[in-house]
Amino acid sequence: MTNWVSTDLLDRVRGRLAGSDRDPTPAVIADALRAEAGGVLGDADLLAALHVLDTEFRGAGVLDSVLREPGVTDVLVTGPRDVWVDRGSGLRRAGVSFTDEAAVRRLAQRLALSAGRRLDDAQPWVDGRLPGVDRDSFGVRLHAVLAPVAQGGTCLSLRVLRPASQGLSALAESGAFATGSEELLRRIVSGRLAFLVVGGTGTGKTTLLAALLGEVDPAERIICVEDAAELAPSHPHVVQLVARPANVEGVGQVDVRDLVRQALRMRPDRIVVGEVRGAEVVDLLTALNTGHDGGAGTVHANSPDEVPARLEALAALGGMDRAALHSQFAAAVQVVLHVARESSGRRVLASIGVLERDERGLCTVVDAWSRQNAHGPGYDTLLAVLGRREGPV
């Protein structure tokens, strides 16, 4: 900035625009700049100041261009000079910055307002959803925490929600499946086995789930329940139910558990929960145990071994004890699919597991197939389950 375009001038213009009932179009911003500058701004200074303010008032401000890059999944701000982006292969510096902490805070509060949420000192964090950044995006998931709760300054986390619509064949061509696994996956779907897709953050759980749903018989009706719309399977009969948070008055919340119960009344052939992360696990397992074969969901777990303990914790939120959870889990789910991200960033199917119960009645996940070792100790069990569903192999 030049001497004429000072921080004080920009703050005065922001104040003028905040008190105006006119939309902050470039023309309106330019008028406010001229009025506050008293006519001393040259064309170059005016354009420079206009660029700063127009970027700030539109979209996601300086983050907008980063969010619109193809393949971007996450943009994270931990300080005015600390902006990070994940383009599918891990976090990297984004190459953009804010002028100061106040600019980060202003953007966070404006985005929260756009999402219909409150963000201030009395309510210093927010979850919300913003419109899509392009026609290929379902939206942007917003999380923000203000200082001093965030000690280093306002933190922003933006997740671009792109529709998961790749088919199984496309994933196979990308190298996601090793020999023999693609055919097993198709048989799991056609045999109407209930399955969970598990993995860590950003490993492609939703992508694989959508691809598998695309293999479901077109005559079947799929009800998908999600916290945020991401699933877009290539299937002619999909009904999507999406949860919503309470409004600024604290009313109107619709949670995933409510929607699972509604799905049961909608004549589903298959019930799918995009991500099981709360008490809805109780309702999903109950549904899968009452004649709704072939259901599915995703669970955040870094390995198949962690899945039973993860479900125990979630079921406890819904009032289900450990013994009941393992009994329901064993009866409801036949297969656990584990996805992982390789060091190259490629997302792959790491293993296909089946459930076994020990002498205490507790479930464990046993490999039937793995990317490293092909057939595992649970392979015969998987073939037996498939055989009961589809006849002799």
List, in order, residues 6 or more apart from 39 with CB less than 8 Å away: none
Q: Which one of 128, 161, 194 terminates a domain?
A: 161
Verify that 239 and 374 share a domain, yes or no: yes
Q: Which has the minimum average pLDDT: 157-161, 189-193, 389-393?
A: 389-393
**pLDDT attached to residue 1:** 47
Identify the residue with better confidence: 255 or 228. Answer: 255
Containing domain of residue 120, as a range?
61-161
Q: What is the pLDDT of residues 328-353, one digit of tens each?
A: 999 999 999 999 998 887 889 999 99
Q: Would 256 be classed as within a structural domain?
A: yes
Q: How confident is the model at residue 380 (pLDDT cuts 50, 70, 90)?
A: very high
pLDDT for the residue 249:
73
Confidence at 127, pLDDT banded by 50, 70, 90: confident
Alpha-carbon span 378 to 215, nearest angstrom: 24
Q: Say what the pLDDT of residue 259 is.
A: 94
369 domain-assigned:
yes
The CATH number assigned to the domain holding 77 equals: 3.30.450.370
Q: Under a CB-based contact definition with an 8 Å cutoff, are residues 91 and 104 in contact? A: no
Q: What interhelical angle do 280-288 and 256-263 show, nearest 10?
A: 20
Q: pLDDT-based confidence at 228, cuts 50/70/90?
A: confident
Structural contact between residues 164 and 136, judged by C-beta atoms closer than 8 angstroms: no
In a domain, 187, yes or no: yes
Q: Are residues 210 and 310 in the same domain?
A: yes
Cut 0.85: pTM above it = no
pLDDT digits 0-9 by tens, 290-318: 878 999 999 999 999 999 999 999 999 99
| Contact indicator for 104, 98 with CB cutoff of 8 Å | yes
CA dist 177 → 24, 115, 199, 300, 336 (Å): 50, 38, 15, 20, 15
For residue 290, with 0-12 CB atoms within 10 Å meaning exposed, 13-18 middle and 19 or more buried, which class applies? exposed
Do both 316 and 342 map to the same domain?
Answer: yes
Q: Are residues 176 and 79 in the same domain?
A: no
Rg, the chain, Cα only:
25
Task: Please give the average per-residue pLDDT across 199-211, as a whole number.
Answer: 91
SS3 59: coil
**Contact, 25 vs 50, CB < 8 A?**
no
pLDDT digits (tens, 9 = 90+) for 138-177: 578 899 999 999 998 999 999 887 776 678 888 888 888 9
Pick the range with the lowest mean pLDDT from 87-96, 260-269, 344-353, 372-381.
87-96
The answer to whether residue 234 scores a pLDDT higher than 70 is yes
**pLDDT tops 60 at residue 90:** yes
Residues 18 and 136 in one domain: no
Return the pLDDT at 164: 67
Q: Provide the number of structural domains found in the chain.
A: 3
**124 assigned to some structural domain:** yes
- Which residue, chain included where needed, has tokens 């303990």? 309
- Sheet of 296-300, strand order: 238-242, 222-226, 270-273, 296-300, 195-199, 335-341, 347-357, 363-370, 374-375
Give the single-character DSSP code of 231.
Answer: B
Q: Does residue 1 fall inside a structural domain?
A: no
Question: Looking at residue 393, what is its pLDDT?
Answer: 43
CATH number where 332 lies: 3.40.50.300
**Average pLDDT rounded to a whole number, residues 197-225:** 94
Q: Which tokens belong to 174?
A: 């990308």
What mean pLDDT do residues 353-362 have?
Answer: 94
Is residue 284, in this structure, part of any structural domain at all? yes
User: In the structure, what pLDDT confidence band is assigned to residue 88 with cuts at 50, 70 and 90?
Assistant: confident
Task: Tell me, yes or no, whether 179 and 297 share the same domain.
Answer: yes
Residue 364 has pLDDT above 50, yes or no: yes
Helix runs in the chain, H state only: 7-18, 26-37, 43-57, 64-67, 101-114, 168-173, 181-190, 205-213, 256-263, 280-288, 307-317, 322-332, 379-390
Residues 67, 53 share a domain = no
Q: Is the pLDDT score of 134 beyond 60?
A: no
Q: Would you say residue 2 lies in a domain? A: no
- Pair (184, 286) in one structural domain: yes
Mean pLDDT of the chain: 86
